[in-house]
Amino acid sequence: MTRRAAAHSTRQPGSDVIPDQAAADSAGQPGADTASGHAAAERFWHALEARGSSPHTIRSYRTGLEGYLEWLAGHRHDWREPSRTVLRSYLAALIEGHDKRTVAQRLAALRSFYRFTTRQELTPGNPLAALATPRQPRRLPAVLTVAQTERLIVAAEEGTAQRSEVGMLDRAELGSRGGPVDRSGWSARRAALAQALALRDVAIIETAYAAGLRISELASLTVGSVDLKRGEVRVTGKGRKERVSLLGRPAMAALDRYLDEGRPVLAARAGIAAPGGSPSGGSTSRGRGSAERLSHDATVLLLNHLGSPLSVRGIRFRLERLRVAAGLPEGVSPHTLRHSFATHLLDGGADLRVVQELLGHESLATTQIYTHVSPARLRAAYTASHPRATLSSAGGEAAGHSGLPTSGVSSPSGAPEQ
């Protein structure tokens, strides 16, 4: 039996009790100490799940924490009380192979882990409390202009990026291996699908831009979460926190038309198999019961070409196709629409705290980044505040504002004498 297996064998099945480290250390078994670190990490990950942390956050923390514990084990250091010298050595190794953003994420994971172990009395304190995080370069978020956003919507309306999904219908109904299966009504179904997909794509762009949604929030919307009468959409954001976002008239109209004309067409295709004989699209491989899956799929707002829920990956794919069709620069993502939403609100004079609430930010500091992206807001603040921002010349009007005398005495003609 290996030393790690021996350490795990000291735990009762289903128990969260950490193995006795005093015995392990006295026996000179660093592997057992590593095992206790992984056991503490498991408890930490379960706590993150119970707290409602996103799968992405848990996955990122798991990667960072596992790498840290393995590094400590390889250098025969105790994970419970690493010295500052040990932590600096680990930080140097981390900086050597990763960019500053990744380093900051790994350190954030370790700080959160040690806060947890300290509360659980697994460690005497947080050894990273006094360790400085490398300063990250400040990058302003990229945003679209209003004209570029409109080009994106026009591309969706024209259905110029639907060839891939409609092509799947061709292969499914006409047969990808043999001759045509059934051409009766095929052209009409093809046109109806293309129209439904175009309505869906317009609803995606309009809703993401109007409500400032994250892509995960957009993908998880249900039919019941949208209130077109009130122009509201109820969103479950990070940490399973709910908020209400608002919809403008174009977004309401796009959603109304999609729900009336587009979604029924897509939902009716839920039983159609993709090429190869297996159902395609989002939720068939998630391991849920058939009845539960069908019940869930029936309420999801955005559907793919086979009537299954449109996934986060599917939304990214659609937006990339629309970006190319609209002739927009590379780098436009679903989050770009969220950045544009916030920036355009500030350009229009919205209060920063209102934007914070609509975005679902916990801290106002997170929202303040958009004040540096909004040139109209900066110009308005400068014009309203600086005493010389609105002067038409540096003559007498300037003197009146500055309180200083003019450089010469005015002559009867009005020109200053030299």
- At residue 215, the pLDDT reads 92
Q: Using CA atoms, how far apart are residues 175 and 157, in angstroms rounded to an integer?
A: 29
- pLDDT band of residue 183 (cuts 50, 70, 90) is low
**Rounded to the nearest 10 degrees, what angle do helices 146-157 and 312-326 cross at?**
100
CB-based contact 297:270 (threshold 8 Å): yes
**CA dihedral (124, 128, 129, 130) positive or negative:** positive
User: Is there a contact between 114 and 82 (Cβ–Cβ < 8 Å)?
Assistant: no
pLDDT digits (tens, 9 = 90+) for 9-52: 444 433 443 444 433 343 344 444 666 888 999 999 999 988 87
> What is the reported pLDDT for 297?
53
Residue 287: the pLDDT is: 40
CB atoms within 10 A of CB 276: 10
| 121-172: pLDDT as tens digits | 999 988 888 777 767 666 778 889 999 999 999 999 987 655 556 555 555 5
Q: Report which DSSP code applies to 412.
A: T
List pLDDT tens digits, range 319-331: 999 999 999 999 8
Q: Tokens for 72?
A: 């400590």
* Helices H / strands E in the chain, number of each: 19, 3
Q: How confident is the prediction for the chain on average, in pLDDT? A: 76
Instruction: Give the pLDDT confidence of 239-254 residue by residue, as tens digits.
Output: 778 899 999 999 999 9
Q: What is the Cα–Cα distance from 78 to 37, expressed in whole angstroms?
A: 9
Bridge partners for 222 per DSSP: 300
40, 122 Cβ separation under 8 angstroms: yes
Domain 146-377 homologous superfamily, CATH? Intergrase catalytic core (1.10.443.10)
- The reported pTM is 0.65
pLDDT score of 182: 55
Q: Which helix H or strand E contains 227, and what residues bound it?
A: strand 226-227
Phi/psi at 405 (nearest 5 deg)? -70, 160
Provide the pLDDT for residue 402. Answer: 41
Positions annotated as catalytic residues are: 214, 238, 335, 338, 361, 370
- Burial label for 158, CB within 10 Å (0-12, 13-18, 19+), is middle
Are the C-beta atoms of 65 and 109 separated by less than 8 Å? yes
What was the pLDDT predicted at 26?
37
Which region among 87-91, 186-190, 349-353 has the lowest average model confidence (pLDDT)?
A: 186-190
Q: Does residue 182 sit in helix, strand or coil? A: coil
- Mapped onto helix, strand or coil, the DSSP state of residue 189 is helix
Which residues sit opposite 246 in a β-bridge? 232
Token duo for residue 230? 């009130």
- Higher-confidence position of 118 and 401: 118
What torsion, rounded to 10 degrees, do the Cα atoms 262, 268, 271, 272 define? -60
| Domain-wise residue ranges, the chain | 3-119, 146-377
pLDDT band of 399, cuts 50, 70, 90: very low
- Residue 175: both structure tokens together: 């047969």
Least confident of 178-182, 195-199, 273-277: 273-277
- DSSP structure string for 306-334: TSSBPPHHHHHHHHHHHHHHHTPPTT--H
Residue matched to tokens 């899956």: 293
For 275-324, write each residue's pLDDT tens digit: 333 333 343 333 444 444 445 556 899 999 889 999 999 999 999 999 99
Which token pair is 88? Answer: 């600096």
pLDDT value, residue 116? 94
> Could you tell me the sign of the dihedral formed by the alpha carbons of 317, 322, 325, 327, in that order?
negative
**Residue 400: pLDDT over 60:** no
